[in-house]
Amino acid sequence: MAIETAGDVPFGNVTRQMTRMLDQMQKGYYNFCPSETWTPTVNLYETESDYHVCVDLAGVEKDKIDLVVSEGRLTLKGTRPVPACQEIAQEEHSPRRVRVHVMEIDHGSFCRVVELPLDVQQERIVAHYADGLLWIHLPKK
């Protein structure tokens, strides 16, 4: 399927890129992965006995997620393909040209680093992936 990008409002793409860069800068030095293209969003929850990290990875295949714990950091890397329009992908005859008017869903390689609290039992960390959300269970010492 050939993808064509529609004309963009002048400087619209620059505005999106600047906003994304400012968001990345606010996340802190250790969360920055300069060689990667996008950073998934994260929620962090705490109970008396655990921490729980929820990572939004909609559209990412489970086997495309790499999770590493090292030096007090949890690093997530992987890739997400460009979402395909289901109606066009299901057509049996020759593929049609598609004009994209807006493409805001991040795709390609991703990276996210989460600094772990000091009281995490790193050897007992468990992850579960369901419905596009990666849940990481971090038991406290």
Q: Average of pLDDT values for 90-118?
A: 81
Looking at 3.40.640.10, 2.60.40.790, 3.30.70.2190, 3.40.50.300, the CATH number of the domain 3-139 comes to 2.60.40.790
Left, alpha or beta for 6 (phi > 0: left; psi -120 to 50: alpha)? beta
Q: Where are the beta strands (DSSP E) in the chain?
A: 3-5, 42-46, 50-56, 65-70, 73-80, 98-100, 108-115, 126-130, 133-139
Token pair recorded at residue 43? 């929620």
pLDDT surpassing 70 at residue 104: yes
27 or 138, higher pLDDT? 138
Q: Is the pLDDT of residue 41 over 60?
A: yes
Q: How confident is the model at residue 21 (pLDDT cuts 50, 70, 90)?
A: low
Mean pLDDT is lowest, of 14-23, 28-37, 65-74, for 28-37
* Residue 24: predicted pLDDT: 58
User: 76 pLDDT exceeds 80?
Assistant: yes
Contact 37, 108 (CB under 8 A): yes
Q: Calculate the CA 11 to chain-centre distance.
A: 25
